[in-house]
Amino acid sequence: MRAVPPFLVDRLPIDWWRPGNLHRVAGLEVHFCTEDHVRSIEVNGRVIALGRQLFPYGLWDDQDDE
């Protein structure tokens, strides 16, 4: 059983999936990544949630690094 339903993962802000998004939350490593070409959320390296919509790869390719 997944901790977050797929429809909710697909509705979370896409910016959470920007490159370099590994976070420490309450002592856990939280990473917003992709699994099988859809958005996923990992906690301590384990997938806890999967979306259903295809991930828009290349979304941030045209933006300059600040």
CB 41 within 8 A of CB 32: yes
pTM of the complete model beyond 0.75: yes
Cβ-count burial 24-48 (b if 16+ within 10 Å, e if not):
eeeeeebebeeeeeebbbbeeeeee
The fraction of the chain above a pLDDT of 90, given in percent, is 62
CB-based burial of residue 12 (10 Å sphere; 0-12 exposed, 13-18 middle, 19+ buried)? middle
For the ranges 12-21, 29-38, 52-61, the lowest mean pLDDT is seen at 52-61
Nearest alpha carbon to residue 52 among 35, 66, 27: 35
Q: Which two tokens stand for residue 60?
A: 């941030």
12-31 pLDDT tens trace: 999 999 888 999 999 999 99
